Structure 1
Amino acid sequence: MPKFAYAAIDPEGAPVEGVTKADTIGSARALLVEQNLFPTKIEETKGMLDFELTKEKVKKKELMHFTRQLAVFVKAGIPLTDALVTIGDETEDVALRRALSNLIDDLRNGGLLSVAAAGHPEVFPDYYVGILQSAELTGQLDTALESLAEYLEREIDTRGKVVSALSYPMVVMVMAFGTVLLLAGYVLPQFKPLFEELGAELPLPTRMMLFFSRFFTDLWYVTAIVIAISVAAVMFLFKHPTGKLWKERGVLKVPIIGGIVDYAILERFCRILGAMVQAGVPLPEGLKTTTQATSNIVYRERLEVARDQMLEGRGFSAPLIETELFPGAARQMFKVGEETGTLDKQLETAAIYFDRELESRIKKFTTMFEPVMIVFVGAIVGFVAIALVSAMYGVLGGMKEEAGPAQAPTPVVAVVDVESSGI
């Protein structure tokens, strides 16, 4: 059962500190109230073996539910501390519950929600904190929270579409390679001693499969080296700054895949910037936060240049158009929004356009990729089947040649003695 360290005030007004056991932080709070203690701080304690190297990030789904619940509480006029206490007691996510406990303490000490949230980047992204800051200045916290919840929900839906589109082809590819590895690494080597004993002439497909299977038996160290190099290369591409730059530039140049990545980034960019502009965040600050939230380095570098040009007084649409990142329809929307003062609505319209285009490109990708994968898997399985069947025919043919052709029976010639026969 988890342990919770608490700080409370007894009925006489004296501070009390201690540790209690409970299933959840809400149960611990109720237990303290039953003991006539008013809790001011409750947080989960950890044992000597419970440690973490990095803070666990909260899933976007959990953050979306929290944001929507907090918007309802704020709209109903419930104080922030009471709302956070209620949500924290009900949430099952440990990292989110711990962050909310710290938020409650900061708010009770006179802090602002945005400042307290900024201290937990593992829970609240930069754009989230930026919208909270603007909402606190304009007094529209409930509206900003609703906008954030809608954005998070749309982002979750978009990511789900991409994952669902790629899951089936990836499963098929993994099964194909798994089949080849099983046949080449285990099944075919079982027949190798038989082939050598019979000394049959094996066909080319079988010899190719046997050569490939050697990398799992005699030449296993070569396979181990290749796997180690592959793992190192993947880590270099995902961890090292230079490797990340190569990877993200290369992904944008891959046919079809590059288009999907483009529209996913642009949809996220327009959605976040539109939410921040609608919440009253200054445009340069909103563009800075949105740029930092962009996952692709190529986009981030060009958007930073556009922001610098914007600060130099070149407006909003012109620097973005010069980045050559946005299609013609989005450029026109930016111009109209800048000229008419409806940039937030135009950004939302652009986000909807990119979302629809992204869904269309994902469908196109799956429509093309699934038949290719089926043919690829069929070719691999067919090649392996041909290699095994042709090897069996080769062995049988060799056995027949060793036996030689069947000999005809020797004719019997009868010799007749003419004299003795009396003829």
Structure 2
Amino acid sequence: MTEYTVKLADERGRIQEQIHAAATAEELHSRFTQSGYLVYSVKARSAIGGSSKKKIKLDVFLVFNQQFLTLIKAGLPILGSLDLLARRQKDLGFRAQLEDVTVRVKTGQSLSEAFEAQGTMPVVYTTTLLAGERSGNLEEVLQRFLDFQRVSLTFRKKLKASLIYPAFLIVMVIGLFIFLITFVVPRFADLYNQLGTKLPTLTVWLLQLGQDMQHYGLFVAPVIAGLIWLLMRWTKTEAGNSFVDRVRIATPVLGGVWLKYQVGLFSRTLATLLTGGLPLVPSLETAAKSIESKQIAKAVYNSVETVREGKGLSVSLDETKVFPELAIEMIEVGESTGALPQMLNSVAEFFEEDVQASLAAIMSLIEPLILIGMGLVVVVVLIALYLPIFSLNGVGGS
């Protein structure tokens, strides 16, 4: 699929430019012409220096879906609701995508297909729409998706909030160290050069570090920034992402917390899809796509094959040797009682609460450690700088 910039006029004569994806420019031109638009030009974005579509912010996407659901419940047709919300959307990128969805629905595509064609929508969302279209109960499945995303968004905000203060402390430690090395240490170096006395090894090392920072700091900083940028790019590749995921899961304490977070996300996603009426196998495949951890997603994909063979979900997940034993036991109870979606929600709630409690405990230990580290840095620097002065006083006194 290639992205094109389309210049067109609607039925009211308003000229506008929109960004849409299509196999060919002719296909896009035909699509808009059949929908009653006057098409002036269709240009590939690469030819005009364009870029790929940006991912929609989750809060913006949630507001749209809440408004969309409200309009549908009020009796407004789907096409009219999409057209109204597209015109009122302030995010230009999202507005262009909604306009493309509207055009696709006008030309006969289903709602789930139109959103899936954008390439930026969550897989869970398009699958949920598909389940709603098949069951004829779009309003109910949309409401379930909104409930699911609200819980997920609240949980993510709590996680990020718990990391703000430790991150601030780490930045403070780094900033303080740079200030001491680049501003304070050079002044002591000038003083000791004038005195011409023999300096302790610790002081010599610190003064040399200060000089190196002054001379080479402007060259080292861009190199470090470049290495960090390359590392970030590498982690977005398949190999880099898999390596980071393996390290993250293998990390003591934090690896267990990450695993529980992913299991909670998987359980809530699967429960939402099953409640929407989607069969177990496609629900598992969709839930696997929503998991950030490659290792856990691979385990879920492996369990799909055993479920197809007729084994139960709990047995299939247990054979992967990845999921926690408690989650397996709860899922087994849900299967045996015929209340799997409800039990999966219970699994999600349990592990989400466990993750929050574990993070709170870890942060309560990390914050004092960071403060102690900050204090040690200051103490070591001060001792190194004032040690020669203490030595001079001792010599003078004797």
- Regarding TM over 0.5, the answer is yes
Q: Following the alignment from structure 2 to structure 1, what is the Cα–Cα distance between the partners of residues 252 and 36?
A: 57
Asked if residue 8 in structure 1 is aligned to residue 10 in structure 2, the reply is yes
Structure 1 residues 291 and 330: CA distance shift in structure 2, 3 A = same
Aligned to 1:333: 330
Asked which structure has the greater CA Rg, the reply is 1
Match of residue 77, structure 1, among 59, 69, 75:
75
1:395 CA displacement: 5.6
Aligned to 2:109: 111
Q: Following the alignment from structure 1 to structure 2, what is the Cα–Cα distance between the partners of residues 41 and 380?
A: 67
Structure 1 residues 239 and 283: CA distance shift in structure 2, 3 A = same
Aligned to 1:93: 91
Aligned to 1:131: 128
Asked if residue 321 in structure 1 is aligned to residue 318 in structure 2, the reply is yes
TM-score between both structures, scaled by the size of structure 1: 0.80
* Residues matched between the structures, number: 373
Aligned to 2:60: 62
Counterpart code for 2:332: K
1:384-404 Cα shifts (integer Å, max 9, x gaps) = 222223344446667x59xxx
TM-score between both structures, scaled by the size of structure 2: 0.85
1:20-41 Cα shifts (integer Å, max 9, x gaps) = 69xxxxxxxxxxxxxxxxx966
Q: Following the alignment from structure 1 to structure 2, what is the Cα–Cα distance between the partners of residues 127 and 373?
A: 39
Structure 1 residues 193 and 257: CA distance shift in structure 2, 3 A = same
Asked if residue 360 in structure 1 is aligned to residue 362 in structure 2, the reply is no
Residue 205 of structure 1 contacts residue 383 of structure 1 at CA under 8 Å; is this kept in 2?
no
Q: Following the alignment from structure 2 to structure 1, what is the Cα–Cα distance between the partners of residues 230 and 393?
A: 46
Give 3-state SS (helix, strand or coil) of 1:390's partner: helix
1:5 CA displacement: 5.0
Residue 91 of structure 1 contacts residue 97 of structure 1 at CA under 8 Å; is this kept in 2?
yes
1:361 CA displacement: 1.1
Residue 273 of structure 1 contacts residue 286 of structure 1 at CA under 8 Å; is this kept in 2?
yes
Aligned to 1:380: 377
Counterpart code for 2:312: G
Counterpart code for 1:61: D
**Aligned-residue CA RMSD (Å):** 3.0
Give 3-state SS (helix, strand or coil) of 1:313's partner: coil
Counterpart code for 1:7: A
Residue 269 of structure 1 contacts residue 294 of structure 1 at CA under 8 Å; is this kept in 2?
yes
Residue 182 of structure 2 contacts residue 213 of structure 2 at CA under 8 Å; is this kept in 1?
yes
Structure 1 residues 193 and 170: CA distance shift in structure 2, 3 A = same
1:119 CA displacement: 0.7
Match of residue 169, structure 1, among 163, 166, 171:
166
Counterpart code for 2:15: V
Structure 1 residues 301 and 48: CA distance shift in structure 2, 3 A = closer
Task: Determine what percentage of the aligned residue pairs are the same residue.
Answer: 25
Q: Following the alignment from structure 2 to structure 1, what is the Cα–Cα distance between the partners of residues 281 and 145?
A: 19
Q: Following the alignment from structure 2 to structure 1, what is the Cα–Cα distance between the partners of residues 71 and 174?
A: 52
Matches within 5 A, 1:225-374: 227=224, 230-231=227-228, 234-235=231-232, 237-374=234-371
Q: Following the alignment from structure 1 to structure 2, what is the Cα–Cα distance between the partners of residues 183 and 306?
A: 55
Aligned to 1:28: none
Structure 2, unpaired ranges of 5+: 1-5, 18-34
